Structures are given as structure tokens and as C-alpha cells.
Amino acid sequence: METLSYETVINAPKQKVWDILWGPETYTEWTKHFGAGSVMKSDWKVGGKTYFMNAQGEGMVSTIDSLDEPNQIVFKHLGMVDKDGHEDTQSKEVMEWSGAFEKYFLTDFDGKTKLHTEVQVDKEWKDHMDTGFTKGLMVVKSLAEGVSLDAV
């Protein structure tokens, strides 16, 4: 497991960036680079349930480990969910990465927002994460700054 980090400075206040990251309409926009039709469903409670799903209804079940809106959120990934809604948190494959973190930190940076993300992944997912976060954070920046998404 390795930790990957991504960072961008956005010319917008933290709350606006936060809302773009986690708003249902904009979440789908910036996460399309991980997979088209991505959605997140959460109870927004520390220790509760959060689901990161693809367009086919498959994905990951996670929990919020730490939450301080609009400053930071830390997700802890627990397992997989199949298209029938069955959760797998115990298989050998899942146990190899269960407990991996995905972190988002928003810091005021002279009236702008510094968005720093970290994700723990197996090496086989590095290229996918690099593409998803690099392009995805460009979309977050464009949406927050009111710039056209045509170039992203």
C-alpha cells in the first residue's frame, strides 16, 4: 500500500470548494475521471456509512473517520459492494486493503483554498488514481472558479 498526494490552489473560498467536492451534481462531474456515473451516498456521520458507487451500482463501502466541514474529511474504506447491494468486508481480497484512507484537506491560502488530497492504494491502482485525481481536481478548480470545463 502506498500513499499518493495531490494538491491544487483554487481561487474560491473553502465552503464553495467543499460544496463542489460533495454536492451530488458536482461530485458526479469531478469523479467522472475515475469512472462515468460515479455517485457518493453518505449519512455524513463519523462512524456511519458512506458508499462510493459506479453507474452499475457497484463500488466501495466506507466510513467517515474524521469530519470538520469545510476544513477536512477522512474516509476509511471498509469493503466492496456488488450490484445487488451485498457488502463484502471479510474476503481475503478485501482484507488486503480494508482500512485504507482517503483524505481531503482544505486550507485558507490568502483568500484562496489549498485543496490537498491523499489516498492509500495498492500499486496496481496508482495510474488510475493519478489520472482520476489530476483531472478531477482540475474540474473542481474550474467549477469553483467559474471557468469553462471544455478544456478539462
150 pLDDT more than 60: no
**Residue 84 placed within a domain:** yes
How many angstroms separate the CA atoms of 23 and 19, rounded? Answer: 5
Amino acid at 1: M
State whether the Cα torsion 130-16-77-118 is positive or negative. positive
| Number of domains the chain contains | 1
Which pLDDT band, with edges at 50, 70 and 90, does 109 fall under? confident
**Residue 152 placed within a domain:** no
**Residue 105 placed within a domain:** yes
How high is the pLDDT of residue 122? 86
**Residue 151 placed within a domain:** no
**Residue 72 placed within a domain:** yes
Beta bridge partners of 102: 75, 119
Amino acid at 149: L
Count of residues in the chain = 152
Q: How far is the CA of 17 from the CAs of 23, 102, 114, 126, in angstroms?
A: 10, 17, 10, 25
Q: Whole domain around residue 91: which residue ranges?
A: 2-146
Q: What is the CATH classification number for the domain harbouring 122?
A: 3.30.530.20
**Residue 83 placed within a domain:** yes
Is residue 4 within 8 Å of residue 131, measured between CB atoms?
Answer: no
How high is the pLDDT of residue 148? 63
**Residue 75 placed within a domain:** yes
152 pLDDT more than 70: no
How many angstroms separate the CA atoms of 22 and 103, rounded? Answer: 13
Strands 59-68 and 39-42 come out as unpaired
Average pLDDT, integer, range 108-136: 91
Q: Where is average pLDDT lowest: 53-67, 84-98, 110-124?
A: 84-98
In tens, the pLDDT along 7-51 reads 999 999 999 999 999 999 899 999 998 888 889 999 999 999 999
- Look up cell 478531477; give the residue: 136
Buried (b) or exposed (e) across 3-22, using 16+ Cβ within 10 A? eeebebebebbbebbbbbbb
> pTM for this one?
0.91
